[in-house]
């Protein structure tokens, strides 16, 4: 089963080399057939030039520049329209997600699951240098989502997940242009009846640059996706199930 890894990148000149080299080394050592697809989200720094050079040393790397519209969700969706693997993971460009955990996800999917979801806050999960305010907000939001959808999963907003190709096709059309895509994808997968496993994963705060997630801008967008998925769950009468 070929693995694709979609990585959105905007102004990641300080992080992208370590991220891609480490990811490639880990997947190659594990003997996993893969491609790494980076969406350069119209970066204004040297990210694109660095990616061009990295294609010489990371043979499984492919990248394209998304000239617009831009934003985290658009960048991920750009990659989800173009990956070639049998399954696809979404990872960050700042190495906050662990390649070792991706291998764990991949092996878990071999047991027959349609999706593998990571959790940073229960058995096997770890966080390093998580900002206190974001941590409190994260737990409150995920508690509310868990209660509303009754799915027993405590880290729905965690972007780092693995989906089979047929799941991605079954979740379309995508609605979210920003970080709310991290909520849309797993909620639709659960509502539409795809199987999933939950495994612990680690998360480490970025070493360079600044986070692209702007909390003040995202509240209403997360709430929109939350309501949309809630309506599908309770009022669609199963019309969108696989």
The Cα–Cα gap between 20 and 56 comes to 12
Q: Is the pLDDT score of 35 beyond 70? A: yes
Structure letter (DSSP) for residue 123: T
3-235 placed in CATH 2.60.40.60: no
Structure tokens at 3: 């693995």
- Give pLDDT tens digits for 153-183: 999 999 999 999 999 999 999 999 999 999 9
Q: What is the pTM of this model?
A: 0.92
Three-state DSSP state, 81? coil
Three-state DSSP state, 47? helix
Kindly give the pairing relationship between strand 87-90 and strand 161-164: antiparallel
- Give pLDDT tens digits for 96-139: 999 999 999 999 999 999 999 999 998 889 989 888 888 898 88
- Give pLDDT tens digits for 195-236: 999 999 999 887 776 655 555 556 789 999 999 999 999 999
* 180 touches 73 (CB < 8 A): yes
The Cα–Cα gap between 89 and 216 comes to 27
């Amino acid at each position: 089963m070929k693995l694709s890894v979609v990585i959105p990148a905007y102004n990641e000149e300080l992080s992208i080399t370590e991220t891609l080299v480490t990811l490639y080394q880990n997947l190659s050592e594990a003997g996993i057939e893969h491609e790494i697809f980076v969406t350069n989200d119209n970066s204004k720094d040297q990210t694109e030039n660095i990616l061009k050079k990295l294609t010489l040393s990371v043979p499984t790397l492919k990248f394209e520049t998304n000239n617009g519209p831009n934003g985290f969700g658009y960048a991920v969706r750009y990659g989800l329209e173009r990956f070639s693997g049998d399954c696809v993971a979404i990872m960050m460009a700042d190495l906050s997600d662990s390649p070792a955990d991706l291998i764990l996800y991949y092996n878990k999917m071999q047991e027959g699951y349609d999706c593998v979801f990571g959790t940073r806050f229960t058995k096997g999960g770890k966080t390093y240098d998580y900002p206190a305010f974001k941590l409190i907000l994260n737990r409150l939001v995920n508690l509310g989502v868990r209660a509303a959808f009754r799915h027993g999963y405590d880290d729905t907003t965690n972007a780092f997940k693995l989906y089979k190709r047929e799941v991605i096709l079954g979740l379309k059309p995508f609605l979210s242009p920003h970080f709310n895509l991290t909520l849309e994808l797993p909620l639709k997968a659960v509502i539409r009846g795809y199987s999933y496993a939950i495994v612990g994963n680690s998360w480490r705060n970025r070493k360079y640059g600044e986070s692209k997630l702007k909390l003040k801008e995202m509240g209403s967008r997360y709430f929109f996706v939350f309501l949309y998925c809630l309506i599908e769950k309770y009022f669609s009468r199963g019309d969108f199930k696989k």
